[in-house]
């Protein structure tokens, strides 16, 4: 399938950067956990989960206390991470919806800046096979060892779009081992490196190494009563289990992921690379319902309350963040691409960008966000147009435990949209401007449910101020609607008509 705009942008991105510019660039590693919510870290006070490495990063680097995933679920957040744009702009409405070949990614940006680029782990933005027009290779990465969706112990990955291969072992360890090999190659070639590592943990179904499980052997007895639904590792179908057993396995996965990040940090230090490497970590959405134990914030994965979108956020970069700092300024996965553009001297893509440059935040010069954050779970049940990408090219190849429609692999959707109707504006949505957050939900009968929260005074979103502050509600609602106008114009393809 031909995409002239993509080919034009790809040609632009293949231009090389000057040697002097490359020499000054930091190495960049962007890590992301799968379903890892804000509260599931030791440094944020979790009563059980052990994350000594993330805790050390929080104590020595830049702790982003109010870091948000771009969406309350995985594929959409990954689209925002890659493009700096809200996922609804490119039809990535929900898990299993791809983005579009015309999108410009951080992989493209960093390739243009002279970096060797690699993607590792969960992709979930389309098929990873070489024929896919939205594989990591087509979207800016020189190498990839990736999975169409999520994975557990002994995962299957596709290397550079080839047939899936089974890798024996703990998945986070496998990814970090591959990453250090890639870094070694880049170092030998005297090239700066850019890597995106999207772990499969701690997404259900859960599993863990015996030593990690043993750390949480007390949890089944502590939480024996509540039952939760999740995937069975034995059948690939849904099952119901006591939450204590589930938490034991979930936390084992988090601890294994944490340890692997520690392995990476030690490797960077021994190779003399730690000082000028920007190491970043976040989650892709809030904690899933099956794993939710403590709720300092309202909601879980799949909801636009902070419990569904607030995630761990950490930056470690000794050359630029020499002293530990913590910030309450709000930031998002959509801010990553604009920040990389600023760090490497590359222009922003010529299209609407929802994120902002975080270099002032990194340098301690930013105390509050300059523009609102928007969240929108667009309804996907409405009429669809023709497939945006040939469905054959959207078929996944890498198997996983959880079956869907009897299949162990995943396929993807994206559709053409040619017009905008009033119903297109619906779906749970929110805007955060400063400390004020407006949340709108449609109801089966009557007017939408309107909620207004002061996040500084009420981080748990317990007190609805909508009736007390109607002027603020109207202001935020107007801002949100105007932003939706722009998003829907992007959805029908306006951004690609250049």
103-150 pLDDT, tens digit per residue, is: 999 999 999 999 999 999 999 999 999 999 999 999 999 999 999 999
- 112 within 8 A of 17, measured Cβ to Cβ: yes
Task: Render pLDDT for 454-471 as a digit per residue (tens, 0 to 9).
Answer: 999 999 999 999 999 999
Closest CA to 183 of 42, 54, 321, 28: 28
Peptide bond into 205 cis (omega under 30): yes
Q: 19 Cβ partners below 8 Å, 6+ apart?
A: none
Residue 7 — pLDDT band, cuts 50, 70, 90? very low
Task: Render pLDDT for 58-110 as a digit per residue (tens, 0 to 9).
Answer: 999 999 999 999 999 999 999 999 999 999 999 999 999 999 999 999 999 99
Determine the Cα–Cα distance for residues 168 and 339; give it in Å rounded to an integer: 36
Segment 365-371 shows an average pLDDT of 95
pLDDT at position 498: 63
Task: Render pLDDT for 282-291 as a digit per residue (tens, 0 to 9).
Answer: 999 999 999 9
Other beta carbons within 10 angstroms of residue 365's beta carbon come to 8
> To which H or E segment does residue 486 belong?
helix 470-491
Strands 116-122 and 193-198: parallel
Determine the Cα–Cα distance for residues 167 and 154; give it in Å rounded to an integer: 5
Residue 381's region, left for phi above 0, alpha for psi from -120 to 50, else beta, is alpha
Other beta carbons within 10 angstroms of residue 280's beta carbon come to 22
Whether residue 494 is contained in a domain is answered as: no
Determine the Cα–Cα distance for residues 110 and 336; give it in Å rounded to an integer: 12
Tokens for 261, please give them. 């990040």
Strands 27-33 and 277-283: parallel
Q: What is the domain count for the chain? A: 1
The rounded Cα 124 to chain-centroid distance in angstroms is 10
Whether residue 418 is contained in a domain is answered as: no
What are the distances in angstroms from CA 40 to CA 97, 191, 234, 235?
27, 36, 26, 28
Determine the Cα–Cα distance for residues 300 and 294; give it in Å rounded to an integer: 11
Task: Render pLDDT for 31-66 as a digit per residue (tens, 0 to 9).
Answer: 999 999 999 999 999 999 999 999 999 999 999 999
Determine the Cα–Cα distance for residues 484 and 352; give it in Å rounded to an integer: 12
Please report, for the domain that includes residue 70, its CATH number.
Answer: 3.40.720.10
pLDDT at position 497: 83
CA atoms within 13 A on the CB side of 189: 13
Whether residue 449 is contained in a domain is answered as: no
Residue 359 — pLDDT band, cuts 50, 70, 90? very high
Determine the Cα–Cα distance for residues 386 and 379; give it in Å rounded to an integer: 17
Tracing tokens 């090219």 back to the chain, one arrives at 393
Question: Sign of the CA dihedral 322, 323, 329, 333?
Answer: positive
Whether residue 355 is contained in a domain is answered as: yes
- 300 within 8 A of 287, measured Cβ to Cβ: yes
Query: What is the 8-class DSSP label of residue 25?
Result: P
Tracing tokens 């290397």 back to the chain, one arrives at 159
Closest CA to 343 of 83, 19, 184, 106: 106
Residue 283: what are its φ and ψ, rounded to 5°? -100, 165
Query: Could you please report the per-residue DSSP string of 177-246?
Result: HHHHHHHHHHHHTT--EEEEEE--TTPSSP---HHHHHTTTTHHHHS-S-EEEEE-TTTSSEEEEEHHHH
Determine the Cα–Cα distance for residues 280 and 264; give it in Å rounded to an integer: 12
Give residue 78's domain range.
Answer: 26-371
- SS3 call for 415: strand
Whether residue 298 is contained in a domain is answered as: yes
pLDDT at position 11: 38
The CA-to-CA distance between both ends of the chain, in Å, stands at 20
Tokens for 184, please give them. 């070694």
Determine the Cα–Cα distance for residues 84 and 353; give it in Å rounded to an integer: 6
Task: Render pLDDT for 219-270 as a digit per residue (tens, 0 to 9).
Answer: 999 999 999 999 999 999 999 999 999 999 999 999 999 999 999 999 999 9
pLDDT at position 29: 98
Whether residue 141 is contained in a domain is answered as: yes
- 57 within 8 A of 277, measured Cβ to Cβ: no
Closest CA to 388 of 193, 48, 125, 184: 125
Query: What is the 8-class DSSP label of residue 392?
Result: G
């Amino acid at each position: 399938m031909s995409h002239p705009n993509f080919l034009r942008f790809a040609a632009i991105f293949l231009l090389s950067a000057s040697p002097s510019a490359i020499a000054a660039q930091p190495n960049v590693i962007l890590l992301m956990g799968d379903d890892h919510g804000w509260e599931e870290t030791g440094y944020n006070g979790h009563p059980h989960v052990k994350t000594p490495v993330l805790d050390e990063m929080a104590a020595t680097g830049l702790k982003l206390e109010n870091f948000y995933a771009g969406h309350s679920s995985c594929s959409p957040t990954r689209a925002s991470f890659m493009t700096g744009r809200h996922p609804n702009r490119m039809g990535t409405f929900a898990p299993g919806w791809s983005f579009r070949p015309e999108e410009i990614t951080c992989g493209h940006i960093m390739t243009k800046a002279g970096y060797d680029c690699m993607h590792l782990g969960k992709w979930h933005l389309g098929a990873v096979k070489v024929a896919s027009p939205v594989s990591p290779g087509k979207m800016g990465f020189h190498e990839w060892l990736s999975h169409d969706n999520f994975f557990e112990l002994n995962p299957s990955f596709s290397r550079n779009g080839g047939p899936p291969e089974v890798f024996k072992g703990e998945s986070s360890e496998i990814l970090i081992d591959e990453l250090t090999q890639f870094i070694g190659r880049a170092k030998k070639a005297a090239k700066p490196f850019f890597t995106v590592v999207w772990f499969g943990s701690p997404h259900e179904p859960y599993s863990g190494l015996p030593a990690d499980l043993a750390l949480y052997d007390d949890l089944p007895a502590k939480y024996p009563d509540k039952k939760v639904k999740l995937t069975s590792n034995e059948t690939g179908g849904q099952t119901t289990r006591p939450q204590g057993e589930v938490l034991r396995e979930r936390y084992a996965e988090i601890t294994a992921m944490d340890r692997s990040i520690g392995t990476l940090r030690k490797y960077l230090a021994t190779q003399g690379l730690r000082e000028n490497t920007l190491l970043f970590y976040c989650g892709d959405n809030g904690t899933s319902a099956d794993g939710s134990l403590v709720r300092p914030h309202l909601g879980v994965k799949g909801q636009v309350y902070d419990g569904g979108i607030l995630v761990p956020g950490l930056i470690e970069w000794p050359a630029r963040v020499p002293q530990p700092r913590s910030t309450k300024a709000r930031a998002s996965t959509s801010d990553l691409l604009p920040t990389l553009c600023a760090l490497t001297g590359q222009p922003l893509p010529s299209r609407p960008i929802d994120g902002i440059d975080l270099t002032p935040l990194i340098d301690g010069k930013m105390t509050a966000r300059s523009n609102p954050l928007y969240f929108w779970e667009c309804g996907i049940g409405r009429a669809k147009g023709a497939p945006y990408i040939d469905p054959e090219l959207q078929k996944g190849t890498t198997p996983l435990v959880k079956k869907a429609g009897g299949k162990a692999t995943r396929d993807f959707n994206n559709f053409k949209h040619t017009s905008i109707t009033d119903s297109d504006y619906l779906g749970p949505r929110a805007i955060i401007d400063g400390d004020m957050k407006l949340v709108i939900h449609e109801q089966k009968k009557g007017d939408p449910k309107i909620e207004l929260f002061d996040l500084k005074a009420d981080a748990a979103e317990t007190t609805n101020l909508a009736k007390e502050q109607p002027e603020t509600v109207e202001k935020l609602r107007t801002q949100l609607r105007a932003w939706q106008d722009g998003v829907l114009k992007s959805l029908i393809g306006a951004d690609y008509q250049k």
